Amino acid sequence: MGAVPRLIEPPAMPEGVRRIIETIGNSARAELLHNLAAGPATATDLAATLGVGRGTVHAHLGALEKAGLVTGDIPEGARHGRTVHWHLDRSAVDAYLDELRHYLTGR
């Protein structure tokens, strides 16, 4: 079987869909969202559950927060040295999934 050509930037893919895939197409981020669906958690709790470093979890939570999929109970500028409890924004996740579903299925 021959090598499958790699698509780097699909020309017809809408920018919003590309951002969705970049954000939630990552298995670590998907697992964080899955864990937060059970209820709020700290980065330390999530790191222990997933068996990864807290810095890694913070980096992914930052990307998910920037995308509007999670929120912290302490504003970003006031977090230094404080424990943040992260919450899943179900309506934002639903909107992302609806847009992706529409792109993939055409409806």
The per-residue pLDDT for range 38-91, each reduced to its tens digit, is 999 999 999 999 999 999 999 999 999 999 999 999 998 899 889 999 999 999
Rounded to the nearest 10 degrees, the angle between the axes of helix 15-24 and helix 90-105 is 120
Instruction: Report residue 62 as tokens.
Output: 């930052």
Q: pTM (2 decimals)?
A: 0.85
Q: Report pLDDT for 107.
A: 83
In the chain, the amino acid numbered 63 is: A
Q: From residue 24, how far is each of 1, 18, 80 by CA, in Å? A: 30, 10, 26
Backbone phi and psi for residue 45, each to the nearest 5 degrees, phi listed first: -60, -45
Domains belonging to the chain, first-starting first, are 15-105 (1.10.10.10)
Residue 95 pLDDT exceeds 60: yes
